[in-house]
């Protein structure tokens, strides 16, 4: 077995509360900058959804010293690539630049952290509102099976639980967001003391830290709103829904709440999804796709969510296969493991695939920086980089059996089925429960 | 430190450039004519291994679209020594992954796995390259799976748009006119023998085949291990009167003719109720070997190949028509398409198409500014090292060298060559190779709303979506 790599990591904190993680690596003349703000869709409220994601878009529209259309222009003219993403728990911004342009990245990130609002306008909001509306249409409303994920989370976390609503928000909330509301959201959450800045790549640590302090040091920290209540999901019993969509083939999703990311139970559940569905020799693929030939594709995965994790299993049916048959087959594979622990070859496959993926992840500076930001934001443990994989090594087959048993016994699963239009068997209604 | 002294009003200038060199591969030739290209890297304790063979979709007989991709998909589904299940178990238990597929110019077998397991990986690739045996049951199962996938694509506006774009440009007399996955009918007409023949002619041959290995391996040792395992690969395909084989050039490439120029045409694929419309505007391009190719791809980056491209700043940032728009110059052995691709709100489809044509005309009619070109060049130079971060990224560059017969130092010279492309060159290649008066426009959305918006761009044909 290969020994874990030695990865030099430094952790610092500025007076204003900004946490700074440095991971020097001079093999290539590149530097990855990564910034996590600890705010996501879970910090929104019902009827004001989609703000975190809309705000992520706004952050690329310039700030006091950066022209409206200049953020990407500044980066791309030196060969930088950049993007951002919003999740339920956090918003991240990242760029990879030739390392001689490190300060350009620091300038852009610190300007939008500290000087965004003077450059904010109703016109900018309108512009990005249209882009987000287009994005919602393209990726959710107009996309086959696109609405299934929304329904899964709504059913898993009902009521006003912070995980209930979609990250992109509901169309009516996107359309109704006002400039005042959006600006307040920024003031509340976009603070240095709510952020982690990570650099990975070609730089000299002392000089890099001095540059970070020069750009970010003057920005004031501030009091943060209270965090949403720790959203343990109240058991609501099994939830089911059937959706009709513009699709040819049925698809079934099963979703189960599991312990939060970082807890030992989360890693067990993750390894269970790898045993179940990773690779052509995994039970889901081998039984449903190759032997029974009832599924076109199968998948099993877990969400790295902060309040509560979620395991999902999915199968897309072959033509002529009923959704109930798919659902029964997915459950059967889970039940088999609940009754009999996975074999040594299956455990070996799952652990080796997990390890290969972990090593592969470390190659990209941007991915490394994102992992460091994540480990620091959630756990204040950047040193997990390259070592998180060790948390899987102590998991035994009996642990997986017990995990599968618990998933099935809790009766908390959600089942979302998507069928071709007209196939739900209850007339022309769009949705039945 | 007086932090108020920081002047934020202008961006900081860069420090001195840290140069990067492309890791030049070692090249070896086996006795049977196969090539080994090896690049030594310690980025990860892994190995990226790819067998690149000539068996691409360009070799499909006209009435058999989908043959190459189906044959490639079956390479890991059984050999004379192991079943598909055994192959999958073996690779995955080692922590590795297998990926077999075909593009237009090649069929590839790729394996990623821990470095310590390299020799097992080579054994497996050699086995699949020499004695894959296409079990009847797996052939039928995978064929059915792909036919179902084709059905699913009828609900994907983007896939429909791409399919109709190439059909309009290339027609039925070129392999490029058909989707690489094939059609339900063409797959249904295939027999196992067709796959076996394709494999023996185009995949399981040493001539024109390259093995790429990226990882921390001593090159001479690697060559010995590769030679031992791949010596059994036959040098040439068996003698055949296959008419497709007669169409090959000396280097095994299928000669794909440049299609006739089109009159301005609009094809609307009727998809009622779509709030978004998938749009394509394009025509045929040039082979990658054309001397203008590099300048054309620089032009395309400026026009629609980055966030700050002319098309994106126009359609997304200025007008809010779309979430994203791109221009693509394909680089194949034959003259693949040049096209613009986007999804727009249906009610602005006409306006968006108008802006696309405006930008195409603009880049032909006026030379791009030095500043724009400098920025595009710097973007390409600056982003160049990004792929070198991973073993598979390096392998991808070697794949380009292999399949297009480029020199091993091609990427060293690439950055220097970029510096020689000036505004006059960009305008010249734009005028020569962008043809707005011979473009086809494809729109997938509600025909009743699209016809009035798009009829100004050419003669309109409305197609019913077979779903």
Tens digit of pLDDT for each residue in A215-270? 999 999 999 998 776 655 666 678 999 999 988 899 999 999 999 999 999 999 99
**Min Cα–Cα distance to chain B from A189, Å:** 23
pLDDT of residue A236: 67
The region, left, alpha or beta by phi > 0 then psi within -120 to 50, assigned to residue A334 is: alpha
Give SS3 for A263.
coil
Residue spans of the domains in chain A: they are 10-216, 237-341+396-432
B174: enclosing H helix or E strand: none
pLDDT of residue B220: 97
Q: Which residue of A25, A72, A118, A134 is the best one to mutate when testing the B interface, meaning the one whose CB has the most B CBs within 10 A?
A: A134
More confident residue, B275 or A278: A278
pLDDT of residue B323: 84
Helices A179-189, A122-136: axis angle to 10 degrees equals 90
Following DSSP, what letter does each residue of A65-133 receive, concatenated?
A: TB-TTHHHHHHHTTT-EEEEEE-SS-EEEEEEEEGGGHHHHHHHHHHHHHS-GGG--HHHHHHHHHHHH
User: Are the CB atoms for B58 and B104 separated by under 8 Å?
Assistant: yes
Residue B19 pLDDT level (bands cut at 50, 70, 90): confident
Report the residue of chain A nearest B15, measured CA to CA: A100
In this predicted model, what pLDDT tens digit does every residue of B182-219 receive, in sequence order? Answer: 999 999 999 999 999 999 999 999 999 999 999 999 99
Give the one of A77, A130, A364 whose C-beta lies nearest to B389's C-beta.
A364
pLDDT of residue A432: 38
Does residue B428 surpass a pLDDT of 70?
yes
In this predicted model, what pLDDT tens digit does every residue of B297-318 receive, in sequence order? Answer: 999 999 999 999 999 999 988 8
* Mean pLDDT rounded to a whole number for chain B: 93
B310 contact A CB<8A: no
Reading the block at residue B372, the tokens are 């724009």
Identify the residue whose tokens are 């990986």: B121
Count Cβ atoms below 10 Å from residue A229 Cβ, excluding itself: 10
In this predicted model, what pLDDT tens digit does every residue of B216-268 receive, in sequence order? Answer: 999 999 999 999 999 999 998 887 545 455 455 445 567 899 999 999 999 99
Domains A10-216 and A237-341+396-432 share a fold: yes
User: Are the CB atoms for A344 and A278 separated by under 8 Å?
Assistant: no
pLDDT of residue B4: 55
Q: Which residue of B5, B7, B17, B18 is the best one to mutate when testing the A interface, meaning the one whose CB has the most A CBs within 10 A?
A: B18
What whole-number distance in Å separates Cα of residue B452 and Cα of residue B450?
A: 6
Give the one of B12, B156, B390 whose C-beta lies nearest to A104's C-beta.
B12
Does residue B40 surpass a pLDDT of 70?
yes
What whole-number distance in Å separates Cα of residue A156 and Cα of residue A233?
A: 8
Residues from chain A contacting residue B19 (CB–CB below 8 Å): 29
pLDDT of residue A146: 87
pLDDT of residue B252: 54
Nearest to B133 by CA among B52, B211, B209, B192: B192
pLDDT of residue A274: 98
From the candidate CATH numbers 3.30.70.580, 3.30.1360.120, 3.40.50.2300, 3.30.830.10, the one assigned to the domain spanning A10-216: 3.30.830.10
Residues from chain B contacting residue A135 (CB–CB below 8 Å): 323
Does residue B1 surpass a pLDDT of 60?
no
What whole-number distance in Å separates Cα of residue B175 and Cα of residue B34?
A: 27
pLDDT of residue A1: 45
pLDDT of residue B248: 57
Per-residue pLDDT, averaged over B325-334, amounts to 98
* β-sheet bridge partners, residue B40: B215
Give the one of B10, B148, B322 whose C-beta lies nearest to A249's C-beta.
B148
From the candidate CATH numbers 3.40.50.880, 3.30.830.10, 1.20.200.10, 3.40.50.970, the one assigned to the domain spanning A237-341+396-432: 3.30.830.10
Q: Do the Cβ atoms of B96 and A356 come within 8 Å?
A: yes
Q: Do the Cβ atoms of B17 and A98 come within 8 Å?
A: yes
Interface of B with A in 423-462 (CB under 8 A): none
In this predicted model, what pLDDT tens digit does every residue of B114-156 receive, in sequence order? Answer: 999 999 999 999 999 999 999 999 999 999 999 999 998 988 8
Residues from chain A contacting residue B467 (CB–CB below 8 Å): 248
Give the one of B11, B16, B76 whose C-beta lies nearest to A104's C-beta.
B11
pLDDT exceeding 90 applies to what percent of chain B? 86
Please count the residue pairs, one from chain A and one from chain B, whose beta carbons lie less than 8 angstroms apart.
214
DSSP A233: P
For chain A, which ranges sit under pLDDT 50? 1, 426-433
């Amino acid at each position: 077995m290969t020994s874990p790599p030695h990865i030099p990591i430094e952790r610092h904190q500025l007076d204003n509360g900004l946490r700074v993680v440095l991971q020097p690596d001079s093999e290539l003349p590149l530097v990855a900058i990564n910034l996590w703000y600890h705010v996501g869709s879970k910090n929104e409220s019902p009827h004001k959804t989609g703000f975190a994601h809309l705000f992520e878009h706004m952050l690329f529209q310039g700030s006091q010293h950066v022209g409206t259309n200049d953020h990407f222009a500044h980066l791309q003219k030196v060969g930088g690539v950049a993007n951002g993403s919003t999740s339920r728990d956090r918003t991240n911004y990242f760029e990879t630049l030739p390392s001689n342009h490190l300060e350009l990245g620091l300038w852009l990130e610190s300007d939008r952290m500290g000087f965004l609002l003077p450059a904010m306008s109703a016109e900018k909001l309108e512009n990005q509102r249209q882009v987000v509306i287009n994005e919602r249409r393209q990726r959710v409303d107009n996309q086959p099976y696109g609405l299934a994920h929304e329904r899964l989370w709504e059913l898993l976390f009902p009521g006003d639980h912070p995980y209930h609503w979609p990250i992109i928000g509901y169309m009516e909330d996107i359309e109704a967001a006002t400039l005042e509301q959006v600006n307040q959201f920024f003031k509340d959450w976009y603070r240095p003391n709510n952020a982690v800045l990570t650099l990975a790549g070609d730089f000299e640590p002392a000089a890099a830290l001095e540059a970070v302090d020069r750009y970010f040091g003057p920005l004031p920290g501030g009091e943060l709103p209270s965090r949403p209540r720790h959203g343990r999901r109240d058991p609501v019993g099994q939830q089911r829904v059937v959706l009709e969509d513009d699709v040819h083939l049925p698809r079934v999703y099963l979703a189960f709440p599991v312990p939060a990311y970082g807890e030992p139970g989360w890693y067990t559940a993750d390894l269970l999804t790898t045993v179940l569905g990773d690779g052509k020799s995994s039970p889901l693929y081998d039984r449903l796709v190759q032997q029974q030939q009832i599924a076109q594709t199968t998948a099993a995965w877990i969400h790295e969510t902060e309040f509560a994790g979620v395991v999902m299993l999915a199968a897309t049916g072959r033509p002529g296969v009923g959704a109930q048959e798919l659902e029964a087959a997915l459950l059967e594979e889970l039940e088999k493991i609940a009754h009999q622990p996975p074999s040594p070859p299956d455990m070996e496959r799952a652990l080796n695939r997990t390890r290969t993926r972990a090593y592969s992840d470390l190659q990209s500076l941007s991915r490394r920086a994102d992992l460091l930001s994540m480990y620091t934001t959630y756990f204040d443990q950047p040193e997990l980089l390259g070592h998180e994989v060790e948390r899987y090594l102590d998991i035994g087959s009996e642990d997986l059996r017990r995990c599968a048993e618990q998933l099935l016994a809790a009766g908390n699963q959600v089942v979302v089925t998507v069928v071709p239009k007209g196939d739900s068997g209850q007339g022309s209604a769009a949705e039945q429960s | 430190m007086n932090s108020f002294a920081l002047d934020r009003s202008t961006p900081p200038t860069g420090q001195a450039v840290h140069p990067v060199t492309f890791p030049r591969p070692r090249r070896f030739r086996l006795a049977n004519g196969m090539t080994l290209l090896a690049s030594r890297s310690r980025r990860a304790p892994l190995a990226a291994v790819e067998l690149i063979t000539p068996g691409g979709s360009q070799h499909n007989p006209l009435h058999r679209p989908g043959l190459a991709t189906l044959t490639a998909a079956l390479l890991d589904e059984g050999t004379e020594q192991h079943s598909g299940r055994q192959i999958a178990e073996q690779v995955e238990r080692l922590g590795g992954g297998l990926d077999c597929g075909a593009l237009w110019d090649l069929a590839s077998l790729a394996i990623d796995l821990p470095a310590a397991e390299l020799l097992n990986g080579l054994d497996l690739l050699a086995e699949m390259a020499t004695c894959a045996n296409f079990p009847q049951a797996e052939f039928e199962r995978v064929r059915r799976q792909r036919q179902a996938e084709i059905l699913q694509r009828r609900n994907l506006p983007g896939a429909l748009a791409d399919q109709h774009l190439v059909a309009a440009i290339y027609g039925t007399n070129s392999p490029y006119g058909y989707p690489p996955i094939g059609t339900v009918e063409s797959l249904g007409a295939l027999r196992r023998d067709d796959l076996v023949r394709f494999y023996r002619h185009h995949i399981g041959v040493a001539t024109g085949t390259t093995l790429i290995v990226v990882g921390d391996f001593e090159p001479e040792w690697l060559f010995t291990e590769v030679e031992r395992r791949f010596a059994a690969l036959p040098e040439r395909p068996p003698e055949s009167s296959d008419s497709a084989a007669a169409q090959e050039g000396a280097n095994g490439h299928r000669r794909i003719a440049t299609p006739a120029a089109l009159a301005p045409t609009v094809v609307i694929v009727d998809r009622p109720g779509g709030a978004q419309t998938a749009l394509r505007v394009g025509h045929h391009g040039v082979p990658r070997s054309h001397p203008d190719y590099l300048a054309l791809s620089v032009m395309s980056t400026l026009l629609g190949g980055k966030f700050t491209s002319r098309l994106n700043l126009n359609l997304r940032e200025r007008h809010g028509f779309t979430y994203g728009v791109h221009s693509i110059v394909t680089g194949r052995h034959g003259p693949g398409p040049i096209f613009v691709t986007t999804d727009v709100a249906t009610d602005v489809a006409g306006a968006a198409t108008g802006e696309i044509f405006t930008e195409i005309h603009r880049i032909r009619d006026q030379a791009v500014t030095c500043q724009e070109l400098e920025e595009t060049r710097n973007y390409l130079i600056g982003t160049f090292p990004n792929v070198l971060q991973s073993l598979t990224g390096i392998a991808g560059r070697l794949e380009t060298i292999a399949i297009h017969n480029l020199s091993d130092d091609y990427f060293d010279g690439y950055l220097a060559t970029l510096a020689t492309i000036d505004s006059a060159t960009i305008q010249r290649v734009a005028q020569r190779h962008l043809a707005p008066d011979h473009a086809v426009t494809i729109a997938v959305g509600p025909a009743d709303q699209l016809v009035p918006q798009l009829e100004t761009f050419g003669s309109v044909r409305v197609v019913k979506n077979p779903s």
